[in-house]
């Protein structure tokens, strides 16, 4: 992975299981057996993943996904 440019996070209290984040960035998010998303690992986002991370934030109807730049 190239340089980490930030981290994604999913607020479990807001996530409703729409799975738009995993559809956009399956390399950044995983869903559990009930369909709720969480960040993979520590949520690290590389330069190559940044655009998809930001799209996941914009496409979450519950505002559960956030991206914190480094």
Whole-structure pTM value: 0.93
Is the confidence at residue 60, as pLDDT, over 60?
yes
2 has a pLDDT exceeding 80: no
Average pLDDT, the chain: 96
Q: How many domains does the chain have?
A: 1
Taking only the tens place, the pLDDT of each residue in 22-47 is 999 999 999 999 999 999 999 999 99
pLDDT tens across 11-25, in order? 999 999 999 999 999
Alpha carbon distances (Å) from 11 to 1, 3, 48, 60:
25, 25, 23, 11
Look at residues 54, 53, 28 and name the one whose alpha carbon lies nearest to residue 42.
28
What CATH number should be reported for the domain holding residue 44? 3.30.70.20
State which residues form the domain around 34.
4-69
């Amino acid at each position: 992975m190239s340089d980490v440019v930030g981290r994604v996070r999913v607020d479990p209290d807001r996530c409703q299981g729409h799975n738009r984040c995993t559809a956009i960035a399956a390399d950044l998010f995983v869903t559990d057996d009930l369909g709720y998303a969480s960040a993979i690992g520590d949520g690290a986002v590389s330069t190559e993943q940044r655009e998809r991370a930001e799209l996941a934030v914009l496409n979450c109807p519950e505002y559960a996904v956030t991206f914190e730049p480094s």
